[in-house]
Amino acid sequence: MKSMTWHIMAASALLLTVSGNALAHDPVFGIGPHVLFKDGIEAAIEVHREKAGDESELGLELVYGITGDWAAGIEVPYAFKDEGAESSSGLSDINLFTKYRFWREDTLGLQESAAVMLAINGENGDEKADPPLGNGATDVIVGLTYGYEGLEKYRWASARYVLPGKNDAGFQKGNKWLVDFVVGWRPTPPEYTKPDTVWLLELNGEIADKAEFNGTSLANSGGTEWFISPGIFWTTRNFAIKSGIQIPIASDLNGTQDESDYRFKASFEWHL
């Protein structure tokens, strides 16, 4: 019996090491250290929905594994906005990003890793549309993420810093911290030939400085918001569905501002 148990654990550890199903897990709203294998390709269709402002977005994402620890990609979003009697739709800001996993440690049935990321959010949207698509400026995002991925339990933590650009009108959003703490639970041991389900629960924080207009700070901008976000990651072979809903639980916004409403996100991924 003991020998059989060890054989099962060893097989599970091997599965965790080589199976894309077991390793290809990142949070829904936060980020994780997962990268593709060398020359791997990930294609995804993403759907975003934000109740506040009645905004929806459909995006196409492509990621390429440059090495086994370094990946880069592009996201091309198409946005839909409704504000009262006004509505607009079209190409929004294109996002270029890269992630480098600088540390990884594998033990029996467990992998821990950490990565850094860089993203550039361009000014490709039509800011003259009514309502405008995109923010008319180039934003830079840097981040650090850690992941603990076991056969049953997962943990992630990440922090990203957003440095917004200034648009042609002189408006600039405030710098922002995005902080995420995530736990995951797999109720059934993974088997390579069968679907795999991981349930997720995220705590997402957004801490923003005040925006500026031509160098003048805007009183009704910036502040802190926190969200609780239940989600699911379901995979079968090289196909995955990831989905979650972000629910506001606390806010401390400066001046007079509308608080955020719920946000929904889903992605459909293929690993090639």
pLDDT at 134 over 90: no
Q: Is the pLDDT of residue 3 over 50?
A: no
Tell me the pLDDT tens digit for each residue of 203-228. 999 999 999 999 999 999 999 999 99
* pLDDT, tens only, 48-106: 999 776 789 999 999 999 999 999 999 999 988 887 667 888 888 999 999 999 999 99
Burial class of residue 34 (count of CB atoms within 10 Å of its CB; 0-12, 13-18, 19+) = buried
Mean pLDDT of all residues in 135-140: 90
The pLDDT value given to residue 176: 98
pLDDT in tens, 109-124: 899 999 999 999 998 7
pLDDT at site 96: 97
**pLDDT (average), residues 12-39:** 70
Phi-psi region of 68 (alpha: psi -120 to 50; beta: other; left: phi over 0): alpha
- Confidence band for 168, pLDDT divided at 50, 70 and 90: confident
Mean pLDDT of 182-209: 94
Contact status, residue 163 vs residue 138, Cβ threshold 8 Å: no
Q: Please report the domains of the chain, with CATH numbers, ordered by start residue.
A: 2-271 (2.40.160.40)
pLDDT of residue 180 exceeding 70, the answer is yes
Q: Using alpha carbons, list the distances in angstroms from residue 142 to 148, 175, 207, 233, 269.
A: 21, 12, 15, 25, 24
Per-residue confidence (pLDDT) for residue 177, from 0 to 100: 98
Task: Provide the CB-side half-sphere exposure for 66 (13 A, CA).
Answer: 10
